[in-house]
Chains A and B, each alone.
Chain A
Amino acid sequence: MARWRCPSTRKSEPIDHSVPGERLDESASPREWAVRCEGVSVNFGAVRALHNVCLALEQGRIHALVGQNGAGKTTLARVLAGLQMPDIGEVHILGRPIQGGNVRAAQAAGLAMVHQHFSLPPSFSVAEALELTATKGGGAPIYRRRELERRWLAEVAGSCNVSSLSTRIRDLPVETRQSLEIVRALASDARVLLLDEPTALLTPSATDSLFDRLQILRDTGVTVLVVLHKLREVAAIAETVSVLRDGEMALGPVETATTPQGLISDAIIGEGHYESADVAGQAVATGVGRRTHLLMEEVSSKDSAFERGLKNVNLRIDGGETVGIAGVEGNGQRSLVSAVAGLTRIEGGSIRIGESEAAASSPARRRMLGLRLVPFDRNTEGVSRSASLWLNQSALRLIGRRQGDSPIISTRRYREHARKALERWKVRYESVTQPAGSLSGGNIQRLILSRELSDGTEVLVAAQPTRGLDFAATEFVRRSLGELRSAGAGILLVSSDLDELFELSDRLLVMLGGEVVARFVPPYDRRAVGDAMTGARR
Chain B
Amino acid sequence: MEQILATTLRSAAPLALVALAGVFAFRAGIFHLGLEGLMITGAFVSVAVGDATGSVAVAILAATAVCMALSVLFWLVIEPLRANVIIAGLGLTSIGLGGTAFALAAVYDTRGSIRTDIALPRPVRGVNEGFGVIFSELSLLVWITPLIVFLAWVTLRRSRFGLRLAAVGEYPFAARSVGINPSVMRLKALLIAGALCALGGAELSVGALSSFTENMTAGRGFIAFVAVIFGAWHPIGAALAGLFFGFAEAVGIQSQINISESVPREFVLMIPYVLTIFAVWLGGLRRRRSLEAEAGYAELREPD
Contact of A132 among B164, B294, B302 (CB under 8 A): B164
A87: shortest Cβ distance to chain B, in Å? 19
A117-168 residues with Cβ-Cβ distance < 8 A to B are 117-124, 128, 131-133, 135, 141-145
Q: B-facing mask of A101-116, CB < 8 A → 1, else 0?
A: 0111001000001010
Q: Which residues of A in the span 383-441 have a Cβ within 8 Å of any Cβ on B?
A: 385, 437
Q: Does B296 contact A (CB under 8 A)?
A: yes
B170-213 CB contact bits vs A (8 Å, 1 = yes)?
11011011110000000000000000000000000000000000
Given known A-B contacts A117-B173, A142-B158, A128 and B299 have beta carbons under 8 A apart = no
Checking A123, A201, A379 against B303 with a beta-carbon cut-off of 8 angstroms, the contacting residue is A379
Q: Are A122 and B160 within 8 A (Cβ)?
A: no
Q: Which residues of chain A come closer than 8 Å to B163, judged between CB atoms?
A: 124, 128, 131-132
B297 within 8 A of A: yes
**CB of A12, distance to nearest CB on chain B (Å):** 35
Say whether, besides A82-B179, A83-B176, A115-B177, A122 and B297 are in contact (CB < 8 Å).
yes
Contact in complex: A379, B299 (CB < 8 Å): yes
Q: Does B298 contact A (CB under 8 A)?
A: yes
With A122-B171, A124-B166, A305-B295 already in contact, the answer to whether A141 and B300 are too (CB < 8 A) is no
For chain A, the count of residues having a C-beta within 8 Å of the partner chain is 37
Q: Does A526 contact B (CB under 8 A)?
A: no
* A380 interfacial by beta-carbon distance below 8 Å: yes
Please, what's the 1-or-0 string for B262-303, where 1 marks a CB less than 8 Å from any CB in chain A? 000000000000000000000000000000111111111111
With A142-B154, A201-B300 as contacts: A121 and B167 at CB distance below 8 Å: yes
Instruction: Tell me which residues across on chain B come within 8 A of A174, comparing CB atoms.
Output: 300
Which residue of A142, A305, A437 is within 8 Å of B159 (Cβ)?
A: A142
Min CB gap A139→B, angstroms: 9
* Residue from B170, B174, B296 with most neighbouring chain A CB atoms (10 Å): B174
Q: Shortest Cβ distance from A149 into chain B, in angstroms? A: 13
CA distance A132 to B158 in the complex (A): 12
- Residue B108, interface by CB 8 Å: no
> Taking the complex as formed, is B161 at the interface, i.e. its CB lies under 8 A from any CB of chain A?
yes
Determine if A31 is an interface residue (Cβ-Cβ < 8 Å): no
Q: State whether A121 and B292 are in contact (beta carbons under 8 Å apart), knowing that A83-B177, A132-B163, A379-B299 are contacts in the complex.
A: no
With most chain A CB atoms within 10 A of its CB, the pick from B171, B294, B298 is: B171
In terms of DSSP, what is the predominant structure of the interface of chain A? loop
Find chain B residues with CB under 8 A from A306 CB. 296
Interface bin, chain B: 20 to 34
Assess the A170–B296 pair: CB atoms within 8 A.
Answer: yes
State the Cβ distance, A138 to closest chain B Cβ, in Å: 9
CB distance from A145 to the nearest CB of B (A): 7
Give the chain B neighbours of A121 by CB distance below 8 A: 166-167, 170-171, 174
Chain B residues whose CB sits within 8 angstroms of the CB of A145 once the complex forms: 158
22 CB-based A-B contacts, threshold 8 Å: A103-B177, A115-B173, A117-B300, A117-B302, A121-B174, A123-B170, A124-B166, A128-B163, A133-B177, A133-B178, A135-B178, A142-B159, A142-B160, A143-B159, A174-B300, A201-B300, A305-B295, A379-B303, A380-B298, A380-B299, A385-B303, A437-B303
Tell me the A residues contacting B by CB distance below 8 Å: 81-83, 102-104, 107, 113, 115, 117-124, 128, 131-133, 135, 141-145, 170, 174, 201, 305-306, 377, 379-380, 385, 437
Q: B-side interface residues toward A, CB under 8 Å?
A: 154, 158-161, 163-164, 166-167, 170-171, 173-174, 176-179, 292-303
Nearest 8 CB-CB pairs, A to B? A103-B179, A104-B179, A117-B302, A121-B171, A119-B177, A132-B163, A121-B170, A133-B178
With A120-B174, A131-B160, A142-B159 already in contact, 19 other A-B pairs whose C-beta atoms are closer than 8 Å: A102-B179, A103-B179, A117-B300, A119-B177, A121-B166, A124-B163, A131-B163, A132-B163, A132-B164, A132-B167, A133-B177, A143-B160, A144-B158, A145-B158, A170-B293, A170-B296, A201-B300, A379-B303, A380-B299
